[in-house]
Amino acid sequence: MRLKIFWQIAFILILVLTTIAGDSVLGQVWWEEIDESYHYDLSKFNLLVLLGDDFDYHETVVIKKYWEDWGAKVDIAGVAPELTGHAWKVTSQGWDRSENRQIKTDLLLSQVNLSKYQVLFMPGGNSPKNLLAKDSVSVTRLIKQADKNGLLLAAICHGPHLLAAADVIKDHNVTGHREIVSRLSQAGGRVVNEVCVVDGNIITGNFPYFGTMAMKVAEKLLYPNGGGPSEKSPFVTNAVLKAIKERRSIRRFQDKAVDPNLIKIILKAAIWAPSPNNNQPWKFVVVRDRGVKEKIVETLVNQTKIAFEKRGYPSDAVKRYWSNLFSSPVHIFAFCDTAGVEIDKDWQNIDMLHCMQSVSAACQNILLAATALDLGSLWIGATLIIEPEIKKLLKVPKNFQLVSTIAIGYVADKSLPPVRKSLSRVLFYESWSE
């Protein structure tokens, strides 16, 4: 039992540290890949990459390769014949950018003839800052001329800093790394927190959405008035698939009450989940009372503060974390009725698994229904470590087991979506293969 509790607390510790370390995207260990089998014919197009030292290697190389695979001619222009960038790699601690890699440029900035190109692309890292430090006059003049010539100006992560420096984003919707959003605003850009934004000839995006950036540029070239393949994706046109893709784990909610009728609609969706023999083993407790939530937060803090304090993490910050998860106006506690689980030990584990699967499916319906109703949600698995206290507080009968707690409310701060592994990395046909 003690070992079980230890691993539960260790799991929560990892969860909290990951969350506090940064937003959900920065906590990922993959960059985005395009799963859809789009093929764009870019054989008639020439694209130019504007690059300085300490550029983001993967932003540059991965996006460039998409365009080359689609037939485009892609040149790299820089301030030197060879430039050094930083490459990301995955470690047990997340992202590590200590590895340097070199790229040979195809031409120097002074040799660029913009009439040959249809796109000017600016990756991030410290490339924008170093380009401006090296020769801001030539760099901004090049970008302004490209804009005047009608080229698509594409930039990702810190790259939009160059667009701001060249004064070409005024009255345009733009996005970029949070470190440069104030600079974008100062330059007259309308900053939005999106994966990728297309506004006229300006295309700006965020790390690590490499596939989306490549795709948006390709579609703007081939379908300048819209109507490209990505806009016809079932995950755009089909309401159910759209809700699945747009669902997010929200950790910041508005202090705004949720209409009880909406909660009923969400729970009606929950009970349409599948269950063995239609036994419907779920029960839900809806909690709005702040006093009850404060007791739950206090219990969670008491259960985890020792583990955090041993690692030098302040207990007041831990309390803020748990309090934040229980700041939404509504929490739904989902329970599984174990009374129907077979007594026969050979079947008990299987029946329990069936029961948990059914309630978990109902919980997924809750998340999707909330998304469809323009509400945010968060699946809080951490409450399992204080299940006895929660059951006592909510007066839950002995034969019911807690499966999940789900926060529901209006979104206060919608973060960028976490990227997913490519389907090809997790899918096998007929049998497992490496």
pLDDT tens track for 411-426: 998 788 888 888 888 8
Co-location of 189 and 265 in the same domain: no
pLDDT score for 106: 98
Rounded CA separation 223/216 (Å): 10
Co-location of 62 and 156 in the same domain: yes
Rounded CA separation 95/59 (Å): 14
Q: Is the full-model pTM beyond 0.75?
A: yes
On whether residue 193 sits in a domain, the answer given is yes
The CA-atom distances, in angstroms, between 127 and each of 49, 87, 121, 122, 399 are 11, 13, 12, 8, 60
Co-location of 68 and 186 in the same domain: yes
List 85's β-bridge partners, or say none.
55, 101
Rounded CA separation 120/153 (Å): 5
On whether residue 427 sits in a domain, the answer given is no
Beta carbons of 335 and 404 less than 8 angstroms apart: no
- CA angle 120/126/69 to nearest 5° reads 40
Percent of the chain with pLDDT over 90: 73
Co-location of 15 and 108 in the same domain: no
pLDDT score for 196: 97
Q: CATH number of the domain at 395, please.
A: 3.40.109.10
Co-location of 190 and 293 in the same domain: no
On whether residue 434 sits in a domain, the answer given is no
Which one of 193, 213, 232 terminates a domain?
A: 232
List 323's β-bridge partners, or say none.
none
Q: CATH number of the domain at 51, please.
A: 3.40.50.880
pLDDT score for 430: 94
Segments in the chain below pLDDT 50:
1-7, 9-29
On whether residue 359 sits in a domain, the answer given is yes
For the stretch 327-377, pLDDT in tens is 999 999 999 998 866 555 555 577 788 889 999 999 999 999 999 999 999
Which H/E stretch holds residue 354? helix 345-372
Co-location of 228 and 250 in the same domain: no
Co-location of 58 and 193 in the same domain: yes
The residue segments making up the domain with residue 15 are: 2-24+243-409
Co-location of 151 and 286 in the same domain: no
Number of structural domains (the chain) is 2
Co-location of 203 and 90 in the same domain: yes
Co-location of 203 and 304 in the same domain: no
Co-location of 247 and 296 in the same domain: yes
Co-location of 353 and 390 in the same domain: yes
Give which of 310, 320, 301, 330 is closest to 389, Cα–Cα.
301
Give which of 284, 303, 302, 276 is closest to 402, Cα–Cα.
284
